[in-house]
Structure 1
Amino acid sequence: MDTTFKVTATPLPGHEGTPMLGLYPHHYIENPVLKENVVATVDSIRGPIRMVQSKQFQTRYKVNGFVPYWPGLPEGEAKGELRSFIKKDASRAQRMMLEIGQGPYWQGKGLQRISNVMRIAEQEGMKDVSNDLLAKLKARAEQWFSGQNKRTYFHHDKDFGTITSYPEEYDAVKDMNDHHFHYGYWIRAAAEIGMLDPQWILPSQWGGMVNLLVKDIATFERGRSDFPYLRNFDPYEGHAWASGVATSPDGNNQESSSEAVNAWAALMLWGTLTNNQALVDVGTYLYTTEIQAINHYWFDIHGVTLPKEYLNVEVSMVFGGKLAHNTWWIDEPRQIHGINLLPFTTASTYLATSPAFVKRNLEALDKEIKIYESRGKRAKPDDIWQDLFAKYLALVDAKAGMARWDRWGSYELGDTRTHTYHWLQSMTSMGVPDLSVTADTPYFAVFKQPTGQRSYLVYNASDKPMDVAFSDGKWVRAAPKGLSVQ
């Protein structure tokens, strides 16, 4: 994916000159098309900024795609256990759709949570379970989308050019915070519904409301009177900001970079299901660019951006003018580390970019937990979010990830035991993500066993077969309207 930055400079008194541009690390590290000569280097909160004298420059990033769902498990004992988890979670689905909070953030998480169980049930051939969960998801989404419920609804505020949602959570109305986090969950859940019921997402049905959520967070036409261009995404910084008003003396901020990625992946899926190639393209741009920024400024996988004085291995909250290792609500280590991992979806394979960082991050987490508990503090529950870290480790070491997971322990309230078990067993059967291989479609995934054997996945939303070429020479003939695995 190529991005070109062009500068139009208006000279003040004197002769017209060539502008001086400062390139952040995500602009120049591993960028094969950068040709400008560096004339100086300046230290900054984002790492070394390289100064170039030019009116434009270009970046080129490798697109690591994803498929919307993974296949069912191969025959064996694990398949039977998975079906048992599906039945238990499906029996509690109505409650699990909204276990905490009452507003659009937690409701969106609940919808996406149950849509994962629905998709796994469908892949396992449990059609009755899948159909029942699909009906529950549609009913809950329609309750919010219809505007008939006075307690839970969306509102198009034309004066402010935004979609607000009630009851308000996390100052999303008052300060216009976190819209991409909140609405990303809804868009992804709607896409999952649409893959099983294409009529439901038609613009004349419920798709029209989803399209408004898309426009709220990612309008890509400049100068519109209804919604702003890209809402809160900063093309030069390479990532989104979460605060709507940015009143902090440290500038704007973003905590959960992974929830931003979830939103951009949702745009890609929604675009392909609604035959909107422009939205697929902008979603791919946002998804790919945000991942680059995460790897530099949240995770610093190249060891370039974090100051020597910063004592942690990762940044949980990136501000315009500071770096923080904390959350907005608690100083408990697992939540500090986990907020930039959740939600785990099929679009989360980018977290395996640096296996060394994954292990370093988890080692730091375990040390921080001991320090936290030595101060007489305890998380509630004691093993909070243990399922997230098992899945995180499984991305680079499937056996270690499975060993880390307590199947009867706690689970993050945007996830389920069904999804965790399916995730861990999928890594065991297919291998870990192989991000060295790319394809000529964004809807692909490649996994690699320790033996070197690869599994190739392609999703084809069209009604015709599609030939997909992989960068390692592999070709896959992808069947229409579904997932192909070789």
Structure 2
Amino acid sequence: MSSNIFVPVSTGALPSVIGSRPDHPVPRLGISNQSTPLSTNKFYANLFLGNQNQGAWTHPYSVSWAKGTGNAASWGLSVSHIEASQRAYGPGNPVQYFINPIGIQSMILSAVGLGSDTTLTTSELTAFSVNVHLSQSAGAPPAVTIPLVQGMGFITAIYSYSAPVIQSSVFFRSLSAVQSPQSGVAKYQVTLEDNSIWLIYLTASSGSPVALQQISNTVIQAPAEFNGTVQIAKVPQGNTTAQSTYDAAAGVYATTAQVSGSVSGSVGSYSLSWTKAGKTSNTLLMFALPHHVQSFSSGTKSGVTGIQLQTTTKGIATAVVADSWTLTESSLPTDMGFAPWSPSLRSVTSLSAAAIQLIQSVGASEVSQDMNAQTNLNSMYFSGKALSKFATIVYTLHDLGQRPDLAATGLASLKKAFALFASNQQQYPLVYETAWKGVVSTASYATNDSGADFGNTYYNDHHFHYGYFIHTAAVIGYLDPSWLAANQAWVNMLVRDVANPSTADPYFPVSRSFDWYHGHSWAKGLFESGDSKDEESSSEDAMCAYAIKMWGKTIGDANMEARGNLMLAILARTLHDYFLMESTNTIQPANFIGNKVTGILFENKIDHTTYFGTNPEYIEGIHMIPLNPSSALTRTQNFVSEEWATYFNNGRVDQVAGGWRGILYANLAIIDPVTSYNFFAQSNFDASWLDGGASRTWYLAYSAGECLLFNFFFLFLSLPFFTPADEPSRSWRIEMIAICIL
């Protein structure tokens, strides 16, 4: 049992082999007075990147700096909420993508005096929140401060001796004062020309709120300076009871959030708790995403309201009245190890005699390959994939293939290949840069190419890259615990960079990659983006969580292992809801779910494609790699069956070239392990069917293990609902059982 799983991995200095430098190619644009580590992959990054005028999505709202644009020509912070009817789709059936419009300035929070000299700065950047300040000129005190918190129920602007201005580029049709809902709170209702209805609440810090006056169809203004808050919220279309709920919560607002959690056995519980300001005697109203509502505790469920607003890429958000949420995952994969694993039938650590014999033969060849040549590359990503591949081969030979002698030889080579990185002697060594505070590749420093190694220097994809190294280390340490003492700090450094759990660690931001509000990671780092953060590979996200779990288990860090288990359980839920779409999915648009996987999921759009091509095997396969024990947790049998029937059955898989064919056949083991095994067991197997991060040794073990994990009688002889892709006959099922037993 772990009663507090969010304790630091370490707070100590980094290994001495890691150099330090104070500079980074991306400047800290407008970031004020923050010496603590800065989050690079969070929802608000556009506010300190590029022109600072791209959007930040808090869900269900988004905000952006108007910066003199639009009908209102405002210099305030614009607020947008997009309905499903406003999306653009296409082309195809199912549609290739859907995208939400940007630049719609429904409501704009500004102040008298903000003009062309206005500056936008940010402060108090955390894993869940940021404060945005708009000042009349550089160095001037803020005219208005807007705290942005994920899921915030109101967009709140704080005024200190400045006169509020509220604008709209959609045009105000009417402004009407409404009876005060609380003492010291003034309320107004606005109707825009697009027929949307918005509420405005003014709460004075002292005295009475100022009155608002409509000056034009783009400007509402207070006649005097004001100390207090202005809050705005959208009334859901057709909801006649929402206003009373908003009324009760007006005046209080969240300033930041904290995550905490505990694990007992296979049950994990985590809480999101908000720090609040304003009328703190009131209870907060915050918006939950679908996966939150599914896992709410009974106490949190009592705060669920009837207020629902569309989000851009996460379905319908539901307003909840509560100062904290508690969420429960009741099926943590605590018994998942390095061996093949199934959610229903768990791990298998012994294989059939025939499978062992073939694994020994294939493994002897693969483990003798030149590991240094395949791992000493100019890319942390590709180096990590190769190291992880060889680690899996060595493990398979040792634990499943009954060849500890071959495993010992391979382990020695693997340690040597890993030592190049642990001593920081690779082609582009790592460096700790103190501008943002993180461990990055020196590739972009050396080449002046921001895209070098997929943008690692710019904090792209760190959980993908470092997850493979963490997994490799977990296997080495499992097989040779004596290796840990000299290497644990270096591996922990990678964990701290991508998944530091605590503000007590002064070297890294909290949870750089995994977003505890969204329940999955964001891959994009310090790159301005009109559609904000995105993630392309949900499976490599799960790989990182799996690696953290296994590294924690290997080093005896129960809290790290528990966090990894909890992250995997949350990912199983969120990937099912948002990324891996079964026919029953009701969260993503009905005309899109036929794609089966999202492709690239952004905060503002989803595009069924990849950054490297549009072949179906690329788009589907990037959500498969690497096939590991966690794959069957996040990729359900129903999903894999539907995806296979959509893209790869009836011989289509055999038209796929290169390593993607091996990936597809390995993934098939989740629903049809015998066909998968026979593919990898064939005597004329072509090594070109293996991806650089994959081995035939592991794929044989994985498919053979999945075969043994099936309950023979129950699954193959009795259940009519199990239908592998090609509708096998009863005789096929009996043949499959025979192969598994052999």
TM-score, normalising length: structure 1: 0.80
**In the alignment, which residue of structure 2 is the partner of 1:37?**
304
Q: Distance in 2 between matches of 1:238 and 1:192?
A: 27
Letter matched to residue 617 of structure 2: R
- For the 8 Å contact 1:317–1:327, the answer to whether it is kept is yes
Counterpart among 9, 17, 22 of residue 287 in structure 2:
22
Counterpart among 636, 650, 662 of residue 387 in structure 1:
662
Counterpart among 691, 694, 699 of residue 420 in structure 1:
699
**In the alignment, which residue of structure 2 is the partner of 1:326?**
609
Q: Are positions 1:63 and 2:332 aligned together?
A: yes
- For the 8 Å contact 1:121–1:127, the answer to whether it is kept is yes
- For the 8 Å contact 2:309–2:317, the answer to whether it is kept is yes
Counterpart among 560, 568, 574 of residue 293 in structure 1:
574
**In the alignment, which residue of structure 2 is the partner of 1:108?**
384
- For the 8 Å contact 1:7–1:55, the answer to whether it is kept is yes
Q: Distance in 1 between matches of 2:706 and 2:373?
A: 25
Unaligned runs of 5+ in 2: 1-267, 341-347, 444-451, 717-742
Q: Distance in 2 between matches of 1:74 and 1:349?
A: 18
Counterpart among 433, 443, 453 of residue 169 in structure 1:
453
Q: CA deviation at 1:97?
A: 3.4
Counterpart among 364, 368, 371 of residue 87 in structure 1:
364
Letter matched to residue 226 of structure 1: Y
Greater per-residue helix proportion: 1
Letter matched to residue 333 of structure 2: N
Identity fraction in percent: 21
Q: Residues 413-458 of structure 1: CA distance to partner in whole angstroms, max 9, x if unpaired?
A: 2111111111111122232xxxxxxxxxxxxxxxx444369xxxxx
- Cα 1:417–1:399 change in 2 (3 A) is same
- Cα 1:278–1:28 change in 2 (3 A) is same
Q: Distance in 2 between matches of 1:333 and 1:368?
A: 15
State the SS of the aligned residue for 1:81: helix
Q: CA deviation at 1:186?
A: 0.3
State the SS of the aligned residue for 1:8: strand
Counterpart among 506, 515, 536 of residue 234 in structure 1:
515
Q: Distance in 2 between matches of 1:90 and 1:2?
A: 41
Letter matched to residue 415 of structure 2: K
Q: Distance in 1 between matches of 2:635 and 2:564?
A: 21
Letter matched to residue 10 of structure 1: A
Q: Distance in 1 between matches of 2:352 and 2:324?
A: 55
- For the 8 Å contact 1:145–1:153, the answer to whether it is kept is no
- For the 8 Å contact 1:73–1:422, the answer to whether it is kept is no
Counterpart among 531, 539, 542 of residue 261 in structure 1:
542
**In the alignment, which residue of structure 1 is the partner of 2:398?**
122
- Cα 1:269–1:200 change in 2 (3 A) is same
Q: Residues 5-56 of structure 1: CA distance to partner in whole angstroms, max 9, x if unpaired?
A: 22333237xx953322211111123656333333222222211212222222
Counterpart among 671, 693, 696 of residue 396 in structure 1:
671
Q: Distance in 2 between matches of 1:143 and 1:54?
A: 51
**In the alignment, which residue of structure 2 is the partner of 1:215?**
496
- For the 8 Å contact 2:625–2:663, the answer to whether it is kept is yes
Q: Are positions 1:366 and 2:641 aligned together?
A: no
Q: Residues 391-412 of structure 1: CA distance to partner in whole angstroms, max 9, x if unpaired?
A: 2222133234345668514112
Q: Distance in 2 between matches of 1:369 and 1:78?
A: 25
Q: Residues 78-114 of structure 1: CA distance to partner in whole angstroms, max 9, x if unpaired?
A: 3222211112212325277339x53111111101101
State the SS of the aligned residue for 1:180: helix
Q: Are positions 1:347 and 2:614 aligned together?
A: no
Q: Are positions 1:156 and 2:432 aligned together?
A: yes
Q: Distance in 2 between matches of 1:369 and 1:400?
A: 12
Q: Distance in 1 between matches of 2:613 and 2:476?
A: 34
Greater per-residue strand proportion: 2
Q: Distance in 1 between matches of 2:427 and 2:508?
A: 25
Q: Distance in 2 between matches of 1:369 and 1:9?
A: 58
- Cα 1:352–1:312 change in 2 (3 A) is closer
**In the alignment, which residue of structure 2 is the partner of 1:2?**
269
Q: Distance in 1 between matches of 2:428 and 2:650?
A: 39
How many corresponding residue pairs?
A: 422
Letter matched to residue 364 of structure 1: T
- Cα 1:150–1:191 change in 2 (3 A) is closer
Q: Distance in 2 between matches of 1:383 and 1:159?
A: 41
- Cα 1:184–1:196 change in 2 (3 A) is same
- Cα 1:37–1:103 change in 2 (3 A) is closer
Which of the two has higher C-alpha Rg?
2
Q: Residues 194-231 of structure 1: CA distance to partner in whole angstroms, max 9, x if unpaired?
A: 011112111xx122211111111111111543111111
Deviates more, 1:89-98 or 1:259-268: 89-98
TM-score, normalising length: structure 2: 0.53
**In the alignment, which residue of structure 2 is the partner of 1:462?**
none
Letter matched to residue 282 of structure 2: G
**In the alignment, which residue of structure 2 is the partner of 1:442?**
none
Q: CA deviation at 1:192?
A: 0.4
Q: Distance in 2 between matches of 1:406 and 1:50?
A: 50
State the SS of the aligned residue for 1:46: coil
Letter matched to residue 9 of structure 1: K
- For the 8 Å contact 2:394–2:411, the answer to whether it is kept is yes
Q: Distance in 2 between matches of 1:245 and 1:67?
A: 34
- CA RMSD, Structure 1 to Structure 2 (Å): 2.8
Counterpart among 349, 357, 363 of residue 639 in structure 2:
357
